[in-house]
Amino acid sequence: MPAQQTSISHLNFEAWVDCDGIALPVYGVEVNGNKATCWIASQAGKNFAVHFKMNDRSERANYSGAVGRTFGTVPPAHDYAQRSVTAMRPTPTTQRQLRFSSLQTSDDDYAIKDNAILSHLGTILVKFYRVEVEGTMDHSAKPVPAHLDSQQKFTVHEAAKKLGGHHVQLVAPKAVKPYRRTRVRPIGGSIVELEFKYRPQSVLEAQDIIPVLRAQAVPAEYKSRKRPNDATNTDRRVKKAKTEPVDGDALHAAQARIRDLEAQLKKEREGLAMDVKVKAEVEPIRVSGAFSPGQVIDLTDD
């Protein structure tokens, strides 16, 4: 079985998303014009990064990363194989990494219903532009949108459940060194757009967008517990065999043999008793009064 695809490619550009350094599989890839879309399974509470590259680097372009708004652009130089977006820099000396978070919902009036915000939830869109490089500039401060700020409460209306349950937030600020950035001017509209639509794995499984991974794990789990079960069953069979009765025919034959031996023993005992009794009952010969004591009697024939 071939390995699951982990990136989308279109018109010389390729992009992928990883969590904890592991590229997420992509599913349901579709291409329409200059735009390619796919699905990925987001993991709440984990930081992620978006990576991209231009396969043929003889051309030069710029990207715009959007997770609810555009927050960064970087022109890939000829000697860079790929570039990555891992965080937003709201100030020259701070950065906040990207993280998937659980979406909080409520039916209260304060919950967000603004479609301008809700329409961006559940998607990561990378756009590539042709640009003209104009020089360098100091990194300027940028406001953090409320729906991206993990330090602010962000709750959407209950009706937005169809968004899937996850959204992107920026973690707490981390101090970094300031740097100068390249100043560019876009030429025309985007030439390529690569979009990742993310949802919790359980949602994608329920919608038949990705295969149910639990079913694939069953054989491995069964295999891991096969030996203990077999050993237990063997012990049970052995114990059961020890308590089973002897074969009926063999038992009857043994009992008949015992009866024969008992009868033979009884017969021999009765014969011995009779012999003793006969000997004990022998009476002495009584001499008739016609003979006198001391007379010799000749019992032989003439």
Contact 126, 54 (CB under 8 A): no
Q: According to the model, what pLDDT value does residue 202 have?
A: 92
Best mean pLDDT range from 1-5, 70-74, 86-90: 86-90
Contact 175, 93 (CB under 8 A): yes
Reported confidence tier of residue 70, pLDDT bands at 50, 70, 90: very low
Instruction: Provide the phi-psi class of 172: left if phi over 0, else alpha when psi is between -120 and 50, else beta.
Output: beta
Residues in the chain: 302
pLDDT at 90 over 70: yes
Lowest-confidence pick of 74-78, 172-176, 187-191:
74-78
Q: According to the model, what pLDDT value does residue 276 have?
A: 46
Q: According to the model, what pLDDT value does residue 250 have?
A: 67
pLDDT tens by residue, 228-239 = 555 555 555 544
| E strands, the chain, in order | 8-10, 13-19, 22-23, 27-32, 35-42, 48-54, 62-66, 70-74, 83-85, 87-91, 94-102, 104-106, 123-138, 155-157, 166-170, 174-175, 180-200
The per-residue pLDDT of the chain, averaged, comes to 76
Q: According to the model, what pLDDT value does residue 233 have?
A: 54
CA neighbor of 43 nearest in space, from 102, 83, 85: 102
Reported confidence tier of residue 282, pLDDT bands at 50, 70, 90: very low
Lowest-confidence pick of 27-41, 126-140, 148-162, 193-207:
148-162
Contact 172, 96 (CB under 8 A): yes
Q: Residue 142, exposed/middle/buried by CB under 10 A (0-12, 13-18, 19+)?
A: middle
pLDDT at 191 over 50: yes
pLDDT at 240 over 60: no
Lowest-confidence pick of 37-41, 165-169, 191-195, 227-231:
227-231
Between CA 270 and CA 264 the distance in angstroms is: 10
Lowest-confidence pick of 27-41, 44-58, 59-73, 124-138:
59-73
Lowest-confidence pick of 50-64, 69-83, 109-123:
69-83
Relative to beta strand 27-32, strand 13-19 is unpaired
Query: Around 122, how many Cα atoms within 13 Å sit in the side-chain half-sphere?
Result: 18
Q: According to the model, what pLDDT value does residue 161 have?
A: 65
Relative to beta strand 13-19, strand 22-23 is antiparallel
Q: According to the model, what pLDDT value does residue 293 have?
A: 55
Residue of higher predicted confidence among 218 and 255: 255
* Stretch (H or E) spanning 20: none
Across 17-27, average pLDDT: 95
Residue of higher predicted confidence among 254 and 299: 254
Q: According to the model, what pLDDT value does residue 254 have?
A: 74
Structure tokens, 72: 């960064």
pLDDT at 68 over 50: no
How far is the CA of 191 from the CAs of 56, 126, 186, 234, in angstroms? 15, 11, 11, 67
| Burial track 213-247 (b if 16+ CB lie within 10 A, e otherwise) | eeeeeeeeeeeeeeeeeeeeeeeeeeeeeeeeeee
> How far from chain centre, in Å, is Cα 126?
31
Relative to beta strand 94-102, strand 166-170 is antiparallel
